[in-house]
Structure 1
Amino acid sequence: MSSTSTVPTTARTLEIPGARLYYEVRGEGPLVALVGAPMDATSFAPLADLLAAEHTVLTTDPRGVKRSVLDDPEQESTPQLRADDLSLLLAHLNAGPATVLGSSGGAVTALALAEAYPELVRTVVAHEAPLIELLPDREQLHAQTEDIIATHLAGDVRGAWAKFLDQANIDMPEEMFETVFGGKREPQQAADEYFWFAHELRGTTHWRPDLAALRSSGVGIVVGIGEGSTDQICDRTSRALATALGIEPTIFPGDHLGFVEEADAFVVRLREVLGES
């Protein structure tokens, strides 16, 4: 039983080459996978609980984060590797094809999954994927990302997060920033943050979708944007993806973390998008 869930939840670990993937399953019905990067299964628990009334819901810690342990903790986390991991989890559950909602780096994972394993996926809802490669100022943004990474690796955690939020164009009140990023880190939080900056951020933001492969995959693609994310970097990247695919973006409640902070409204919109309401 997951300590963060309000519905019966089964927590297990899947052994794969080079890693042990932690995952949770709750509910019954058509399979929905909720995917983050660097966000772990806990972040999706409120939304997963709501969806479990009519779905089998899969949540997981991405490789190298929290309970998904790598044999080599310094291995890079790329969208392709995370898609491979998710394909193994979906095949293990044998309940697909799945609807996959990915948010932030998890949306990049979900798109990589649709490219490489379209037979496992019915629909991808790519919520605020940071696809920097689709933007005209990508070289400048990649240079900023390298500076962000170097700042964190130099030991300036607060400074790295300040630069990260500035690049993302996310305005956080100073008091909230200090509460979230200014205090002492628990060992697991510090380890997860290190892995994100050192081994996950670069690969995620440098990934470029194969637009032809996505169009021909047979997978339904929904590009999601939070209504509160206007002019943020993931608003820009998501609109660029939608334009490249020739579809309209879909607006969801909340901002970049709407699926956490406004789960009740978010699930209503998600059901509408999936044709379930």
Structure 2
Amino acid sequence: MSGTSTTHVSTGTLEVPDGRLYYEVRGQGPLLALVAAPMDAAAFAPLADLLATEHTVLTTDPRGIHRSVLHDPHQDSTPELRADDVSRLITHLDAGPAAVLGSSGGAVTVLALAQAHPEQVHTVVAHEPPLLGLLEDRSERLAREDDMIATYLAGDRLGAGRKFLANADIHLPEEMVLAMYGGELTPQAVADEHFQYVHMIRGTTRFRPDVAALRGAPVRVVVGLGETSTGQVCDPTSRALATALGTAPTMFPGGHIGFVEDPAAFAARLREVLAAT
């Protein structure tokens, strides 16, 4: 269980061809999957508890992160592979088609899910997908991303963190930057961070959605955007995707991780979005 919540949480693992997925299930009702990357299931726990009053809520650790273990830890995590994982979990629970919320890298995952497995989902909310390839300055940003990864691989974790924030157009006080990237990590956090930098970031930010497939699929695709994300890179990426899909962004409270900042407000807005036709 998360925090002081009394929500019952069932945990399980699902064997997939190249590893084992960890997942959690809460509540009863229509299936709602909450998907992140690189965040694990714990990040969604407060939101999942709130939504479990009217939904069966599925959360999971993305492949290669924390409790979702790959047979080959050097295998890349692509949006397509993560989408297949979510599809297998929906099939395993036998509760689809599902509504799906994806955040950040998870938003890219759920776009790939809608493309490859449209029969598994009826509504996809892609909240702030970091699709750098949709931006006019993509070449510069992708080069800066490569430099960030090289900095990390050279052993400069703090320098890589600074470059990550700069490329995301996120400006934080120095003490917050030092707290995020300058302290000691647990062995699991070290492994997860390494996997993110080396095996997850490039495939996620370089993913190019099949706009024609998304527009033609029998799936409602909503592009979510945080109300306080103005000026950050996921503002223009989200707007570019929405424009390509012929829609406008749907605003959510908070910023890039509004579901962590204020789960109750985010849950209320998500309920409104899912109820809309």
TM-score range relative to shorter protein: over 0.9
Counterpart position of 2:214: 214
TM-score, normalization by structure 1: 0.98
Kept in 2: contact 1:10–1:26 (CA 8 A): yes
CA 1:4 to 1:20, structure 2 compared with 1: closer, same or farther past 3 Å?
Answer: farther
Contact 1:5 1:49 in 2 (8 A): no
Q: How does 1:109-128 map to 2 (within 5 A)?
A: 109-128=109-128
| 1:138-195 superposed Cα distances (whole Å, 9 cap, x missing partner) | 1111101101111111111111111000110111111111122210111111110000
Distance in structure 2 (CA, Å) of the matches to 1:3 and 1:28: 17
1:268 maps to: 268
Q: CA deviation digits over 1:62-93, x for unaligned, max 9?
A: 00000000000000000000001111001000
Aligned residues: 275
Match of 2:203 in 1: 203
The match for 1:234 is 234
What pairs with 1:107-256 in structure 2 (closer than 5 Å)? 107-256=107-256
For 1:95 and 1:164, the matched residues in 2 are separated by: 38
5+ residue gaps, structure 2, are none
Partner residue in 2 for 1:28? 28
TM-fit CA distance, 1:274: 1.1
Question: What is the letter of the counterpart of residue 35 of structure 2?
Answer: V
Cα RMSD after superposing both structures: 1.0
Give deviations 1:111-151, integer Å, cap 9, x for gaps: 00000000000100000000111111111111011011111
Whichever residue aligns with residue 108 of structure 1, its letter is V
Report the AA paired with residue 167 of structure 1.
Answer: N
Please state whether the residue corresponding to 2:124 is helix, strand or coil. Answer: strand
For 1:59, the equivalent position in structure 2 comes to 59
Q: Distance in 2 between matches of 1:67 and 1:206?
A: 26
CA contact (8 A) 1:5 1:45 kept: no
Aligned identity (percent) is 64
| SS, match of residue 109 in structure 2 | helix
Relative distance call for 1:245 and 1:5 in structure 2 (3 A) is farther
Counterpart CA distance in 2 for 1:211 and 1:177 is 36
